[in-house]
Amino acid sequence: MAGFPKERLFEIEGNCRYLQCSHGCHNKTYLGDEILIKMAQSQENGKVSSNLIPKCPECGGRMQVHIELDGDFLRDKSWQTSCDAYQDFIKKAHGKKIVFLELGVGARNQMIKAPFMKLTNMEKNATYITLNKGGDLYIPEAIAAKSIGIDGDIAEVLQQLVQMR
Ligand SMILES: [Zn+2]
């Protein structure tokens, strides 16, 4: 939504604009904008008419948003392509000055945090910056010297950084 080209994004935990079969019977995701908007507009007290609930085109079962909720999360072709591009980017950046900038990731989220922390530890010239509010920061001792933790509202902190230039 901010205008980054799709081929430069890797949504490791998926994206709730897409739908997948809830038990992953086939390896394909579907853009869910239309049905999700319809459901949002017609919901009452968080409930929608059952005829609006999307059905899997293959098995007829329930669909769910393409977010890693459990072991049935699909790593479809699009996800794999993004993953490969990310791995390639990391490979090419080896040895260079790298900043891992983490915005608004909770301290307990290991899916996003762990790879960044591991790479920060392995890469000589890496810096890990984590920004989250409410004291929800976590920086392991092994990378503390190469890390910056900022406790604050992302919008306010970024605005302050722009003004510091
Ligand atoms: Zn299915």
72 C-alpha to ligand 1 centroid (Å)? 11
Q: Please give the Cα distance from 159 to 137 (Å, whole number).
A: 20
Residues around ion ligand 1, judged by CB within 5 A, are 21, 25, 56, 58-59, 61
CA of 131 to the centre of ligand 1 (A): 38
Per-residue pLDDT at 134 exceeds 90 = no
Average pLDDT over residues 19-46: 95
Q: Could you state, in order of their start, the residue ranges of all structural domains in the chain?
A: 1-91, 94-164
Tell me, in angstroms, the distance from the centre of ligand 1 to residue 62's CA. Answer: 7
Is residue 133 within 8 A of residue 112, CB to CB? The reply is no
The average pLDDT across 39-62 equals 95
Residue 1 has pLDDT above 80, yes or no: no
Give the pLDDT confidence score for residue 99 in this predicted structure: 96
Residues 75-114 have pLDDT tens digits of 999 999 999 999 999 999 999 999 999 999 988 888 889 9
